[in-house]
Amino acid sequence: MSAAVCIRTMIAALVFGAMPMLASAQGEAAKALIEKGYAALTAGDKIAMTEYFAQSCETDPKFGKCATAGDNLASGYGGGVPDIPRAARLYELGCNAGSQQSCIKAAELKAKNGTADDDAAAVALFKETCETDWTADKECLKLAAAYATGKGIAQNLAEAARLYEETCDIANPYRLPNPEACLLSGQAYLNGTGVTADRAKATQRIRIACQYEREGACDLLATLEPPASKQVAAAPSSPVPTPAKPRTDQQARYSAALEAVRSTNADIAYKGADDVFSLCRNEDYGQACYFYGNMLMQSQKASDNVDAIPFYEKGCDSGYADACVSAANYLAGVEGFPQDVVKAARLLDRGCLELDAVTCYASGVFYRDGHLGKPDPAKARVHLSRACDNGDPVACEEAAELGAEVKPAASTRYTVPDAATLSAFEKRYNEATSRTNSSDATIRNQGFDGLTDLCNAFYGKACYWLGDTLMLTTDAKSRADAYAYFSLGCEGRFASACTRAALMLEEGTDVQKNLAQAAAFRDEACKYNDKTGCFASGNAFAQNLYGNPNYAKARKYLATSCTAGEPAACKDLGVMQENGLGGSPDKVAALENYRLACKANEASGCYNVAVAAYNDWPGTSATDQQKIEGFLNACELGSASACDVAAKLTSAGLGLSLYPGRSDRSRSLACTLDKQYCQ
């Protein structure tokens, strides 16, 4: 396939997306399972996510997550037991449904412990993919390794060297070089392996690998270049100077390129994407690099997603602060992306301290919550204080909590309206939402316009309504636009909007995944006294959703939610107090919160009260009959664990005479509520 055709194929996929397929009933079922998988991942249950993805593949391989589920099962992702046979079966299902990636995975799995024929089959797939897909760097490098070692194909060092050079791709105007391939190509020229030794070419390729911070490249470069150049080789670890303000003609050409990219005319869209890339690569226009990275992130190919990171890095180094945060987010340890916390920290510092204080809140959250390893309160304080100085009132509160001396700053965009203004907003909101239900298109549009005006005035409830409406559509762009409305709604201090924005960033389905910004939205949801938002935020921080659990923050948010009347939050807070998570163990306080939850008929809370009474905790004084009744009550409310205990207690001794026949009912309820009790 020619480079021009490959370029057009990629750009078409990025700009317009893949041609939608009509899903059968099985396809819709597979999609539903995938949604459950993402929900499980949001809840921190990676094993359940893998199972849902595997079931989606088995239900309909065309729509299911065959390759992802296979990878997870083969590696034991999330702490599960590796299941190689099932992984192989999923890869085969995906391959038979037309997924080239699944075919490659299936062949690789066979080749690991298979025969020479299996090795040859895997290499044949690498070769086919490398020759037909110009973005398939990983497969080309695997093919080169096969030629270099002679595994699965006749050894051919010259062919290996050619593939390393082509994959390094320093002459291709449509993409950034592959640093690993550049290093390998440089080593081939340095040692004369498969090519004529050429120190100049070796140095050129190894320098590129160093510039893109490929491990070992800068050390090797230091042995090749004179002392004056050694300082240049070490430069990537230091902050890059802020570039001059973009020229007006660049801004105009970038705007024109974006307009072209959005065109429905394919040729115009191709030209627009080419222009965006040229502004990034040839003119170091940071915003163009950031946009091109976002285009790659929208691709369905994992390799394209990974390729987006160098564009974000280049955008950051070229002076566009949002690109710094995006690159750092993925390098901090997002599943499926190479982790490099040192580089992530450098990018965050550049974005906040050198380029634009608007990014400082997100970077402060990174440091505060330990997304780069251990929490770093000192750095978090610096970044949050800078965000506060830039007019972010939430950052002021966060910085103050970390010991910074800050003067609370009013938001530059939002001011709390007085009672009369709020009343007028609410009246306009009710009128506008009523109009959106009209059968008359003109009146309906007036309603949407009215809600948009209210949202622009930071009436958060209107922003939330618009975002929620867009989320009901199946159009990817509309769902992405919903995030913007939820974000504005959160800025207008509507807590539910903060929670929805956080969920979208955590899932990463309709918008770019960004856990640091999601954590910031979680903070704000709770600050605005939303009991549901505080409860969800507390659980999110208690799990490892954001890297390391933050039990102290989780405990604080659950306490706020419990006080606001959320029974499940009282129960979860009690669990943390009982086990000493986020503070000292306190069974007295835990029991009080379990009782609050039980009083609201929260089944797990009642079960924990029953357990406390059964074990004679301080503050309990129950008879044997009352202890049994505690478990029976929790069972009837829906606690499978309580039903299991009640069945055992009522099957012998005092319980047998007091509660004849209840043992069978409790055992039946336990099985109905949770299949693990059906044995």
Query: What are 51-78's pLDDT values in tens digits?
Result: 988 998 999 888 788 888 888 888 887 6
Contacts for 222-225: CB closer than 8 Å, 24+ residues apart: 224/190, 224/199
Chain-centroid distance, C-alpha 662: 47
Cα dihedral across residues 646, 652, 653, 656: positive or negative: positive
Q: Is 606 a residue whose pLDDT tops 70? A: yes
For residue range 145-179, what is the model confidence (pLDDT) as tens digits? 888 888 888 999 999 999 888 888 654 444 566 77
Contact assessment for residue 58 and residue 18, using Cβ atoms and an 8 Å cutoff: no
Per-residue pLDDT band for 415 (boundaries 50, 70, 90) equals low
Cα dihedral across residues 267, 270, 275, 276: positive or negative: positive
Per-residue pLDDT band for 496 (boundaries 50, 70, 90) equals confident
Q: Which two tokens stand for residue 677?
A: 């009790």
Whole-angstrom distance, CA of residue 225 vs CA of residue 235: 14
What average pLDDT is seen over the chain? 78
- In angstroms, the first-to-last Cα distance of the chain is 59
**What per-residue confidence (pLDDT) applies to 403?**
81
Higher pLDDT, 224 or 654: 224
SS3 330: helix
For residue range 324-336, what is the model confidence (pLDDT) as tens digits? 888 888 888 776 7
- Alpha-helical (H) ranges within 192-301 are 199-211, 217-222, 227-234, 248-261, 266-281, 286-297
**What per-residue confidence (pLDDT) applies to 37?**
79
DSSP 357: G
Per-residue pLDDT band for 230 (boundaries 50, 70, 90) equals very low
Q: Which two tokens stand for residue 306?
A: 């990974």
For residue range 424-462, what is the model confidence (pLDDT) as tens digits? 889 999 998 988 888 888 888 888 888 888 887 888 899
**What per-residue confidence (pLDDT) applies to 239?**
33
**What per-residue confidence (pLDDT) applies to 594?**
92
Q: Is 9 a residue whose pLDDT tops 50? A: no
**What per-residue confidence (pLDDT) applies to 408?**
46
- C-alpha torsion angle, residues 266, 272, 274, 276 (rounded to 10): -150
Give the mean model confidence (pLDDT) for residues 30-59.
Answer: 82
Contacts for 550-559: CB closer than 8 Å, 24+ residues apart: 550/369, 550/370, 550/582, 551/576, 551/581, 551/582, 551/583, 552/582, 552/583, 553/369, 553/582, 554/581, 554/582, 555/581, 555/582, 555/583, 556/582, 557/526, 558/534
Per-residue pLDDT band for 598 (boundaries 50, 70, 90) equals very high
**Which of 101, 120, 135 lies closest to 10, judged by CA?**
135
Whole-angstrom distance, CA of residue 637 vs CA of residue 379: 48
What is the value of pTM for the model shown? 0.41
Phi-psi map region of 376: left, alpha, beta (phi>0 left; psi -120 to 50 alpha): beta
Q: Is 195 a residue whose pLDDT tops 60? A: yes
**What per-residue confidence (pLDDT) applies to 134?**
55
**What per-residue confidence (pLDDT) applies to 483?**
84
Higher pLDDT, 348 or 539: 348
**What per-residue confidence (pLDDT) applies to 247?**
55
Give the mean model confidence (pLDDT) for residues 181-187.
Answer: 89
